Amino acid sequence: MNSNNIAKTVHDYRKLAGLSQQTLAKLAGVGKTAVFDIEKGKETVQLNTLLKVLDILNIQIKLVTPA
């Protein structure tokens, strides 16, 4: 999954949950800018920050390593 797919997924799930970027950021304990950056597909967002946001939205990710 690339950053654009993650951005669209986070945006769509946030909208489905009826949350603003500010509310999602507050619930996740991150800055509003972080949510904005995630939804814009910025690749500089820290993994820990992304995981907090995904957790609030009940989005699970699966890491697959090469065989």
Please name the residue that has the structure tokens 């957790």. Answer: 55
**pLDDT tier at 67 (50, 70, 90 boundaries)?**
confident
Q: Residues 2-61: pLDDT tens digits? A: 888 999 999 999 999 999 999 999 999 999 999 999 999 999 999 999 999 999 999 998
Residue 20 is assigned to a structural domain of this protein: yes
Q: Please report which residue ranges of the chain form alpha helices under DSSP H.
A: 3-16, 21-28, 32-39, 47-56
Please name the residue that has the structure tokens 């769509």. Answer: 12
Reported as half-sphere exposure (CB side, CA atoms, 13 A), residue 57 has a value of 29
Residue 63 is assigned to a structural domain of this protein: no
Residue 10 is assigned to a structural domain of this protein: yes
Q: Domain span at residue 16?
A: 3-56
CATH number at residue 49: 1.10.260.40
Q: Give the chain's domain count.
A: 1
Instruction: In whole angstroms, give the CA distance from residue 67 to residue 24.
Output: 36
Question: Of 26, 65, 32, 61, whose CA–CA distance to 47 is shortest?
Answer: 61
